[in-house]
């Protein structure tokens, strides 16, 4: 009899667990993204991988020995917008999409010299739902090569791209990522005689659930002298949250010590 009761109790517990799991996704809180939980964090966990065709344009150069125009007239010769992830699936292409900022009249990055080694920074974007569970996490890399010059003048950019590394989503969540380099953001922050190229790489994403879509973007500023920083994100930076937690923990320790 005791054995029968034990088996019955176990069966009820299992059934109750299944019902709870099924009900979880019908609770509005499951699909309600906590926008205060959204963070972007720079990830420093080892050497980032650079694509083999990182510096190469998607098509052969028409004339690598052509005459370059005014150095301070800086343009992007190649991609201006491309999709990275569409509905949770990385978009596969034969060549790596990238942008550059070079003098007008340039037909190939190899007309310039003195390029740096590829610089890479890795980031993680994450968000939680109304239950406090992480429902989306995307890891991606920002690549760029800088300091290219023409006959010793200027510092230009090539191979500027964003590459998705990993994406994890809970059931019912889909993510689309698109990268864009508007022509209006390409500028010379140096002088006419010795220009320094700059551009903004915008990473725009949409997170879709049964309740709503959340669309926003992060902006990465890249400069020909190697300067690179994240600007314009509306979300909390994970590093700031960590610092805040450390300060609160230290304050709590001081208060507790004063009462002991």
- 237 and 152 both lie in a single domain: yes
Render pLDDT for 47-97 as a digit per residue (tens, 0 to 9): 555 555 554 444 444 444 445 556 667 888 877 887 777 777 666 544 458
- 48 and 130 both lie in a single domain: yes
- 113 and 242 both lie in a single domain: yes
- Domain with 23, as residue range(s), is 1-31
**Quick one: pLDDT at residue 59?**
41
- 93 and 127 both lie in a single domain: yes
Could you give the strand order of the β-sheet that contains 134-150, starting from the edge strand earlier in sequence? Answer: 74-75, 99-103, 153-169, 134-150, 119-129, 33-43, 236-237
Reported in sequence order, the residue ranges of 76-133 that DSSP labels E, i.e. its strands, are 81-86, 89-90, 99-103, 119-129
In a domain, 192, yes or no: yes
Whole-prediction pTM:
0.73
In a domain, 173, yes or no: yes
Structure tokens at 121: 């920074």
- 107 and 77 both lie in a single domain: yes
Q: Which residues contact 229 (CB under 8 A, 6 or more apart)?
A: 220, 221
- 175 and 187 both lie in a single domain: yes
- 107 and 146 both lie in a single domain: yes
In a domain, 190, yes or no: yes
Could you give the number of structural domains in the chain? 2
Structure tokens at 247: 């300060």
Give the span between the Cα atoms of 42 and 2, in whole angstroms: 57
In a domain, 85, yes or no: yes
In a domain, 129, yes or no: yes
Q: Which residues of the chain have pLDDT under 50?
A: 1-21, 55-66, 93-95, 238, 245-247, 250, 254-255, 259
- 80 and 108 both lie in a single domain: yes
- 196 and 177 both lie in a single domain: yes
Structure tokens at 205: 């994403």
Nearest CA to 101 out of 7, 184, 16, 24 is that of 184
Render pLDDT for 20-43 as a digit per residue (tens, 0 to 9): 445 556 788 888 888 888 888 888
In a domain, 233, yes or no: yes
**Quick one: pLDDT at residue 116?**
93
Spatial contact of 161 and 72, defined as CB atoms under 8 Å apart: no
Give the span between the Cα atoms of 246 and 244, in whole angstroms: 5
Give the span between the Cα atoms of 107 and 188, in whole angstroms: 19
- 132 and 217 both lie in a single domain: yes
Spatial contact of 5 and 201, defined as CB atoms under 8 Å apart: no
In a domain, 237, yes or no: yes
Classify residue 147 as left (phi > 0), alpha (psi -120 to 50) or beta.
left
- 70 and 179 both lie in a single domain: yes
**Quick one: pLDDT at residue 38?**
85
Give the H or E element holding residue 169.
strand 153-169
- 21 and 147 both lie in a single domain: no
In a domain, 260, yes or no: no
């Amino acid at each position: 009899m005791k054995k029968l009761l034990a088996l019955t109790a176990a069966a009820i517990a299992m059934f109750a667990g299944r019902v709870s799991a099924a009900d979880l996704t019908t609770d509005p809180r499951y699909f309600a993204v906590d926008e205060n939980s959204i963070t972007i964090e720079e990830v420093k966990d080892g050497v980032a991988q650079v694509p083999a065709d990182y510096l190469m344009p998607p098509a052969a150069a028409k004339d690598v020995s052509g005459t370059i125009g005014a150095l301070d007239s800086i343009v992007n010769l190649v991609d201006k917008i491309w999709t990275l992830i569409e509905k949770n699936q990385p978009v596969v292409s034969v060549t790596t999409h990238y942008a550059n900022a070079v003098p007008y009249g340039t037909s190939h990055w190899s007309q310039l010299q003195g390029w740096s080694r590829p610089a890479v920074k890795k980031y993680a974007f994450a968000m939680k739902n109304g239950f406090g569970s992480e429902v989306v996490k995307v890891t991606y890399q920002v690549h760029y090569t800088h300091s290219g010059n023409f006959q010793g003048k200027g510092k230009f950019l090539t191979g500027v791209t964003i590459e998705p590394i990993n994406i994890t989503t809970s059931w019912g969540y889909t993510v689309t990522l698109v990268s864009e380099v508007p022509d209006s953001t390409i500028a010379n922050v140096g002088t006419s005689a010795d220009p320094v190229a700059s551009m903004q790489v915008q990473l725009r994403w949409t997170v879709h659930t049964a309740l709503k879509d959340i669309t926003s973007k992060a902006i990465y500023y890249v400069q020909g002298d190697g300067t690179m920083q994240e600007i314009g994100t509306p979300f909390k930076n994970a590093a700031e949250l960590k610092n805040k937690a450390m300060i609160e923990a230290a304050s709590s320790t001081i208060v507790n010590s004063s009462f002991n």
